[in-house]
Amino acid sequence: MGSIYLIRHGQASFGADDYDVLSPTGYRQAEVLGAHLAQLGLTFDRCLSGNLFRQRHTAETALAQMDAAGLTTPPLETDTAFNEFDAEAVIRALLPAMLSDEPHALEIMRNAAHNRAEFQRLFALIVGRWLGGEHDTPALQSWLAFVEQVKAGLDRILESASHNDRIAVFTSGGTITALLHLITRIPATQAFELNWQIVNTSLNHLKFRGREVSLASFNSLAHLQLMKAPELITYR
């Protein structure tokens, strides 16, 4: 059987002007991941990422650690199917209708880094509306369209894969969630309950035979736990 390793990017710059940049912690997480993979002697036949900077930087940093340890790594390919959904667009489209029930929502969103718990509560409510589809707008990518985007990327991998290939995909939490939804048939709302638990740079292992794909492991963070540095275990 072949293997696909879905790897969430390192911690991004939550609350900064540009979220799509690894924080110092995110960069360190990617280094630790690469060193761990090298120690395991795990090699890849293909490596892909979305084209978001945080995804590519995580991949490049981890692969550099593997190269430094003497492992041969393939060139990094990009496929926009593995980009994260546009969370800012979802918030902009769906938040206004919630303001009567959540009068402080705009203030919380503008100061998200200082209101993390309240941001997460509101964001979960917004995502719930997005998943339901009743509030879709023509300009906003729907959850179903996002799932189709991710499925197309997975299909392209499977179409060109050999039966025992090992493939790394550096991506994001929402993309991993969509794949879990597709592969395990877990309802979208339950899949997003798992989403909130996906740790930065965690490993999620899929096994495939032809077009059949199954989940082998979810959200492995042993590489971070072995560092005995709790600050490296982050969720956003």
pLDDT at 169: 98
Q: Mean pLDDT, to the nearest integer, of 171-191?
A: 96
pLDDT at 105: 84
Q: Mean pLDDT, to the nearest integer, of 23-39?
A: 97
Report the C-alpha gap between 63 and 47 in whole angstroms. Answer: 9
pLDDT digits (tens, 9 = 90+) for 192-221: 999 989 999 999 999 999 999 999 999 999
Tell me which of 20 and 27 has the higher pLDDT.
27
4 with 167: CB under 8 angstroms? yes
Strand bridging mode 203-209 / 2-8: antiparallel
For all residues of the chain together, what is the average pLDDT?
Answer: 93
The pLDDT confidence band at residue 5, using thresholds 50, 70 and 90, is very high
Is the backbone of residue 133 left (phi > 0), alpha (psi -120 to 50) or beta? left
**SS3 of residue 165 by DSSP:** coil
Q: Mean pLDDT, to the nearest integer, of 159-170?
A: 96
**CA proximity to 170, closest of 89, 86, 70, 84:** 84
Assess whether pLDDT exceeds 90 at residue 38.
yes
Q: Mean pLDDT, to the nearest integer, of 60-74?
A: 97
Q: Read off the pTM.
A: 0.92
Looking up tokens 């990094």 gives 76
pLDDT at 151: 98
122 with 105: CB under 8 angstroms? yes
For a pLDDT cut of 90, what percent of the chain falls above it? Answer: 78
Q: DSSP label at 41?
A: T
Which domains are seen in the chain, by residue range? Answer: 2-85+142-232 (3.40.50.1240), 86-140 (no CATH)
Assess whether pLDDT exceeds 70 at residue 17.
no
- Count the helices and strands in the chain (H runs, E runs): 9, 6
12 with 172: CB under 8 angstroms? no
